[in-house]
Amino acid sequence: MIPSIAEQNIHQVLTKKMSIQSFEQWLYEDDVLESSSPDLYLELISFDYSSENGFYDGFAKYVHFYKFEADRITEYLHSIINKDESCGNAIWVMYELYCDGYGFLGKLGIIYGLCLVDYETSESNHNIDNILDKLYPEIIDDAKNVLNWLEEGKIVFKSQDNGYGVFEYEDFRSEAEILQGNA
C-alpha cells in the first residue's frame, strides 16, 4: 500500500493535471514515499523523467482510479454550476456518463445533456450559447444536488473500472433523492 499523497500525485500525472517535472520535483523534496514504500521510491527515482513515455505503463498499477472518480465528476459539476467556458463540454460528459451506467446522473444526462447531443447532430446553425441559455438557471440546482450527494457520501465509487472508464458505485440516496435525480 502506498501513501495516499503518492497515489494522488501519480494519478495527477496520469490524468495530465500535474506535469511530470513537477512530480519529479515532489518526489525528491518529500520523503514520505522513501520511508513508507522504499521499493516504489526506488522504482520512481530510477524512471527517466525526460520523457513521459512509459510512465502510465509503469505506474498506473499503483493508482486506484475509482478513488478519484468523485473528484472528476465534481470538477464537471463545478463547471456547470459556474457556467464557465467548459460548461457545454461538462454537460455533454454528464450525458455520456449517464449512458455508460451512472444512473444518478439521469436528470443531468437526459434532460440537459441530450439537448447538446441533439445540437451536435442537427444540421441547423443554432448557436451553442442560445442552447446553454435555455438550460440555465435550472441546471444549476440539479448539478448542486449531485454535488451534494457526492460530498455527503451518498454516491460512493467502489471498484476498478469496467474497461470503459466507468466504476461500480454504491447508491445511498433516499427514495426522494433518487426520484429527484431521475429524468
pTM score above 0.85: no
Q: Residue 79 belongs to what domain range?
A: 67-181
- Looking at the chain, the whole-number percentage of residues with pLDDT higher than 70 is 95
Q: Based on the domain organization, do 97 and 168 belong to the same domain?
A: yes
Lowest pLDDT segment from 1-5, 80-84, 116-120: 116-120
- The mean per-residue pLDDT over the stretch 92-111 comes to 95
Q: Based on the domain organization, do 72 and 34 belong to the same domain?
A: no
First-to-final CA distance of the chain: 40
Q: Based on the domain organization, do 110 and 160 belong to the same domain?
A: yes
Q: Based on the domain organization, do 97 and 171 belong to the same domain?
A: yes
Residue 82: closest CA among 130, 143, 128: 143
Q: Based on the domain organization, do 113 and 100 belong to the same domain?
A: yes
pLDDT of amino acid 119: 67
